[in-house]
Each structure stands twice: as structure tokens, then as C-alpha cells.
A and B are shown apart, each in its own frame.
Chain A
Amino acid sequence: MARYGMALDYKSCINCKACESACKEENGILLGADSHRIWVGVKEIEGVFPDLSIGSTSFEPSQCQQCDNAPCQEVCPTNATYYDDNGVVRVNPDQCILCTYCMQACPYDARYIDDRTLTVDKCNFCSDTRLMNGETTTACQATCPTKVRIFGDLDDPESEISQVLKAREHHTLKTHLGTKPKLYYLT
């Protein structure tokens, strides 16, 4: 069993949205469902043309933070949201009653209603399409042209992600809430 996490070298992001496309293709996200499952946050460029501050714009890719202490799991009345053996927070659509309490509880706005199954879904690190087949990649990570995303086993000290997190400073989002996210932003 592994404990999967992801490090994001977000300053290398060029906002090409290849990760969004790959994720949506892989996981069957419906057309028009913007910012569902995965998205790239964009800080708009400052200034008025032609006096634009090139350095003011920034991109921050985001998705479910795969919390070790996930509020969405804690509030689920039917345990439809659960931790799998790899520590990935997942949803069993057969048990989801669509009360949307998880959408209220998630501090990262990572939950959305899947109109195909009429249940609340989220990123599951491609567990259904890749991890269950023995692959150790995710669609977003495999497609990223600037290698923003490093995916791997946090419990394996030799894995690339463990090495990177040892070597570089990083932060997590809304750390003060105690959710213990497993998405690390490299600074």
C-alpha cells in the first residue's frame, strides 16, 4: 500500500490547461463543466495596456487536496466518501445521497456534482483509470509539458516526491484548518 501525494512546482505553470484537458478526457467530465475536478487559478495581469506588469500575473493549478483529515469525509452521512488503501479520498457513487454536505465542508471548493451519476464527485488521483491498473501516474501529471506535477508515494523515502519535499520548501493550502492536505506547493 502506498500513501499518494502530489507536489506542484506551480511557478513553472504556463497555464496551457493540458492538465485540465487530460483530466476531463480521462475521467469523462462533461463539456462545459468549467473548473470541475481540476483547474488552474489565474491571477490577472495588473496595469492598463500598454503599461502592463508582466511579473504580476501568476498561475496556480489546483484540485482536491487529498487531505489526510478530510472534512468532506468526516461530514458524509453514509460514508460514501472514504479513504482507500492508498490514502486517496474517494467517493462510492452507489452510497452518495446527494445531500451536498461535503460541498459545504470542503474548504477548497474541490467537490462538484457529476451530472452523469447525480452524485458528488472529486479528483481521485486517477484511481479508477490508472492506479488500479498498477500505473503510478495521473493524467494531469503525465501530460504536463513543464513538469509542474510530481506524483508519488509519500511513504517511500526514495520516491521523487519524497526527495523533492526533502530538498525544497513547500506549503499547503489553508494549513491552519488542520486538514493535512497531500498537495504540496513548492516555493
Chain B
Amino acid sequence: MDLNKILPYNKHTVKSFFSFDFTVLNIFMFLLSIGLVTAMFYGIGVYLIHGHHAYGVTRSHAWGLLIAMYVFFVVSSTGLCIMSSLGHVFNIKEFQIIGKRAIAGAIIMILTGFAVIAFEIGHPVRMVIYNVLTPGLTSAIWWMGTLYGLYLFFIILEFFFLNNKIHKYSKIFGLAGLIVGLAAHSNLGAVFGFLVSRPVANGVFYPLYFILSAMVTGSYLLFLMYGWRYKMKFPPEVEKFMITLAQVLGLLLAILMFFEIWRALTHLYGHMPERADIMLHMITSKNFLIGEVLLGMLIPFVIIVYSKGRAIKAMVYASITGMIGIFWMRYDLVHDTQLAPMLKLKIHEYVAAPGLVEYTPTAVEWMISIGAIGVAFMWYYAADKFFDLDHSTDNNGQ
């Protein structure tokens, strides 16, 4: 059986697979990826020996950095899927060239997310079995996990048909992937939003915010992927796409800031315990002010507004700060949800009462979480080698 007839791919020898131009940037990325993956494997080794004791998570702060990174990766995946759908589902012409690269990125990101969560869920094999045998239909985690599985299936089929240039089916599975992806992702927001015990997270905000911030994340990733692909020398159609992308991103960031402002105001208003105090702590923290606001939103937004979206090279660099900001958004989301101690009574057990629950990730958590970025880099490198991810000039550029 010739696999190439089913799914066309570029054949490589080991030598040709590992050959690349010896530029400073390429060598840096090569070493960075190797370093990150090594760190991840070391972290996994320590986890397999010590279990959750290798992490900084506690009974009061049961979710830590790995959950944040899982959210980071799956948000990235959904974001890429949504942004690519602007072209092949909603027929915005400039976006029609990004199909294959964006969907390949979406598959890579969700697989990396699954790789991270496998080392946070205590019994991942048991999860697969009992998700099917005894499904908890009132659980947002069940819906999120199941829908993400289905989403992955659809976007793999979409990539398959895109790669085979069968655009009728790629459109159908693209639409299916988009709808299921949106459902899965808003359910991930609901994992936090459904927590009646946590007033700071409870409510409609997170399911909506997850979709919006996914689109922002997808935009940053597209800037990075295309900046890397063309090494800042963009062909005219790519330049046109990136300018449109910058303008769309400007609008998305404006809406995101609007969302954030109103969340802060509604949470602060009325001084409700476990909501107003936690929100005040959140918005005065360095993570939020420097990470989320400055790096994640303001720097890219100012560049877009100042240049009217035309400074696409600057936006590639600003997308690096943007992704760092997105990381802090995910970290703060998980951490801040757990800040309030659940039973006030326990505070009285201490002479100096601890106000908020504390958490510091261990080196092992950092190694697995950040190391996974190296895994994503490697998969992307492999995808770029094996498949032709560039757009063609025929058939609407897809």
C-alpha cells in the first residue's frame, strides 16, 4: 500500500529530514527545541517516580501550571481553527490562503495540549475507559474532553482533504470542526464558569471570553507562523492577508479589553466577598498588569492602531509578547479561581490567618509545561517538512 496515494507527503531520508539552512535563527530554534523537549522528558521522568508530589499543587490549590498550559494549548488550537474558518467557511478572501498551515497548527496545538494534560490527570487510561462506560453528562469536563476528541477527529479529516485538494469535503469537515471546536472550547470556559463555589469564576464570562481570547491567540500564532515561514519577506497575497489579520486583531483586542474592563467593574461593584477582594488582588498583580495587559494586549494594540495595521513586521515581534501575555492570562485564570480559601473557618486555625491560597509551580511543572512548547515546535517542523503547507494559486488559493 502506497501511503503517498492516500495522503500525499514529501518523502525524506533521515539526513534530508534534519537538514536546514544554518542561519543563526534556525540554529537557535533547533537548540531551543532540543532543550525544551529534554526538559519536558526529564520532568515527566520525575513525575512518573513521584506523582503529584513533584508538583507544587496542594489540596487548596489542586490545579496548577499544567492545567494552565493545557488551556494555553487548546485555546491556541481553537483559535487557529476559528481564524482559518474565516477563509474557508465565511469566505473572507484574504484568509483563504491560510487553510492548511492553520489547521496543521491547530492539530499540533491540541495534541500538545493532550500531551500536557496526560501528566496532570492522575489516571488518563481510566479516563478514556470510564468517559465511555459511565459518562458524567452534567460535567463540563466530560463535555469538553469528549467534544475536543471529536474536534480533533474533524480537523484531521479537514487537513486530509485539504492536502488532497478535495475542497468539497474539506469545507464540510472544516465547518464541523469549527462548530464542535466552539462547543468544546466554550465548555472549557464552563469548567470554570460552572463553579458555584467560586464567585470570582462563576458566571457566563469565561465561556465567552475563551472564544474571544482564542481568536486573539490564533491571530498571534498566525503572525508568528507566517513571519517564520517567509522570514519577513512576504509575497503580496500574504502581505495583504497579514494586514487584514492585523486589522481584525485590533478589533478583537478592543473587544477583549472592553470585556476585561466590565468584568473588573462588575466584580468590584458591591464588595461581594470572594469576588470583589479577589478581583482587586487580580487587577493589581504584576501578572495581570505586566503580563496580561501590557504584553498581551496593549503593545500589539498600540502597534496596530498606530500603523493602521500596516506594521506587519512589528506585529510579528509583538506577537511574541502577545503569546507571553496569553500565557499569563491562562495562568491567572487557573490561579485566581483558587485564591479564596473554600472554608473560612479554617483561617481561624492559624494565629496569623492566611488571607489567600498560595501556589508556586515547582521546577518539574515548569519543565513539563514550557518544555511542551518544544514538542509543538518539533511537530510543526515535521509537518512543514512532510506536507506542503503553503497555499497554491488555484482554487481560491487554498
Per DSSP, are chain A's interface residues mostly helix, strand or loop, or mixed? loop
CA distance A36 to B195 in the complex (A): 22
Could you tell me if B63 and A118 are in contact, using CB atoms closer than 8 angstroms?
no
Min CB distance A153 to B, Å, is: 27
Interface centre among B135, B138, B345, B350 (most CB of A within 10 A): B345
Could you tell me if B342 and A77 are in contact, using CB atoms closer than 8 angstroms?
no
Could you tell me if B52 and A107 are in contact, using CB atoms closer than 8 angstroms?
no
Min CB distance B50 to A, Å, is: 12
Could you tell me if A41 and B343 are in contact, using CB atoms closer than 8 angstroms?
yes
Contact residues in A for B12 (Cβ distance below 8 Å): none
Contact residues in A for B337 (Cβ distance below 8 Å): 104
Min CB distance B195 to A, Å, is: 6
Residue of A nearest to B351 (CB): A44
Interface residues of A in 32-77 (CB under 8 A from B): 35-36, 39, 41-44, 60, 62, 71, 74-77
Residue of A nearest to B127 (CB): A97
Count, chain A residues at interface, CB 8 A: 40
Instruction: Judge if A131 is at the interface, Cβ distance under 8 Å.
Output: no
Interface residues of B in 254-276 (CB under 8 A from A): none
Could you tell me if A97 and B59 are in contact, using CB atoms closer than 8 angstroms?
no
A74-B138, A103-B62, A109-B60 in contact; A97/B197 too (CB < 8 A)?
no
A41-B345, A41-B349 in contact; A80/B130 too (CB < 8 A)?
yes
Question: Which of B122, B130, B138, B343 has a CB less than 8 Å from the CB of A118?
Answer: B122
Contact residues in A for B142 (Cβ distance below 8 Å): 77-78
Residue of A nearest to B123 (CB): A97
Could you tell me if B52 and A113 are in contact, using CB atoms closer than 8 angstroms?
yes
Instruction: Judge if A95 is at the interface, Cβ distance under 8 Å.
Output: yes
Could you tell me if A105 and B195 are in contact, using CB atoms closer than 8 angstroms?
yes
Interface centre among B59, B63, B124, B195 (most CB of A within 10 A): B59
Interface residues of B in 86-129 (CB under 8 A from A): 121-124, 126-127
Contact residues in A for B330 (Cβ distance below 8 Å): none
Contact residues in B for A62 (Cβ distance below 8 Å): 343, 345
CA distance A24 to B330 in the complex (A): 38
Instruction: Judge if A21 is at the interface, Cβ distance under 8 Å.
Output: no
Contact residues in B for A145 (Cβ distance below 8 Å): none
Contact residues in A for B134 (Cβ distance below 8 Å): 78-80, 95
Could you tell me if A79 and B135 are in contact, using CB atoms closer than 8 angstroms?
yes
Instruction: Judge if A83 is at the interface, Cβ distance under 8 Å.
Output: no
CA distance A111 to B349 in the complex (A): 18
Min CB distance B123 to A, Å, is: 5
Instruction: Judge if A119 is at the interface, Cβ distance under 8 Å.
Output: yes
Instruction: Judge if B348 is at the interface, Cβ distance under 8 Å.
Output: yes
Contact residues in B for A100 (Cβ distance below 8 Å): 62-63, 122
Contact residues in A for B145 (Cβ distance below 8 Å): 77
Contact residues in B for A112 (Cβ distance below 8 Å): 59
CA distance A18 to B90 in the complex (A): 67
Instruction: Judge if A177 is at the interface, Cβ distance under 8 Å.
Output: yes
Residue of B nearest to A62 (CB): B345
Question: Which of A98, A104, A111 has a CB less than 8 Å from the CB of B195?
Answer: A104
CA distance A98 to B120 in the complex (A): 9
Instruction: Judge if B45 is at the interface, Cβ distance under 8 Å.
Output: no
Contact residues in A for B349 (Cβ distance below 8 Å): 35, 41-42, 44
Could you tell me if B343 and A109 are in contact, using CB atoms closer than 8 angstroms?
yes
Interface centre among B52, B60, B194, B343 (most CB of A within 10 A): B343
Instruction: Judge if B198 is at the interface, Cβ distance under 8 Å.
Output: yes
Could you tell me if A41 and B342 are in contact, using CB atoms closer than 8 angstroms?
no
Could you tell me if A103 and B135 are in contact, using CB atoms closer than 8 angstroms?
no
Instruction: Judge if A186 is at the interface, Cβ distance under 8 Å.
Output: no
CA distance A108 to B344 in the complex (A): 9
Residue of A nearest to B120 (CB): A99
Binary contact readout A134-177 vs B (1 if CB under 8 angstroms, 0 otherwise): 00000000000000000000000000000000000000001001
10 additional A-B residue pairs with CB within 8 Å, beyond A99-B121, A174-B197: A41-B343, A75-B136, A75-B141, A97-B126, A99-B122, A100-B62, A101-B139, A101-B141, A105-B195, A105-B196
Q: 11 A-B Cβ contacts within 8 A?
A: A71-B196, A74-B138, A75-B194, A77-B136, A95-B126, A97-B124, A97-B130, A100-B62, A104-B195, A104-B198, A113-B59
Chain A positions within 8 Å of B, measured between CB atoms, are 35-36, 39, 41-44, 60, 62, 71, 74-80, 94-101, 103-109, 111-113, 118-119, 174, 177-178
